[in-house]
């Protein structure tokens, strides 16, 4: 799974720490999500998408081959 979190976070001038605080997780969680090494819960995915003013579908890119 790939994400657009880093790209969209930069558009909103948010650091990983800023985003983490807004959604109630640690900065490391955002880091791992950006690298595709952490699959967030549906609630966390929704919260991140809301802060970044996008949809879950636009935020997370799934490869059908995985």
Mean pLDDT value across the chain: 93
Inter-axis angle of helices 42-51 and 16-23, to 10 degrees?
A: 120
Query: To which residue do tokens 């720490």 refer?
Result: 17
Is the pTM higher than 0.85? The answer reads: yes
The pLDDT value recorded for residue 64 is: 59
Residue 7: partners with Cβ closer than 8 Å, 6 or more residues away: none
| Structural domain spans, the chain | 2-61
The mean per-residue pLDDT over the stretch 4-8 comes to: 96
> Is the confidence at residue 56, as pLDDT, over 60?
yes
pLDDT tens profile 28-44: 999 999 998 999 999 99
Name the architecture of domain 2-61.
Orthogonal Bundle (1.10)
């Amino acid at each position: 799974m790939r994400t657009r979190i880093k790209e969209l976070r930069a558009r909103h001038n948010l650091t990983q720490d800023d985003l983490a605080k807004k959604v109630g997780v640690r900065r490391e969680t955002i880091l791992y999500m950006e690298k595709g090494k952490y699959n967030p819960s549906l609630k966390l995915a929704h919260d991140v998408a809301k802060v970044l003013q996008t949809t879950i579908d636009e935020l997370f890119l799934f490869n059908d081959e995985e």
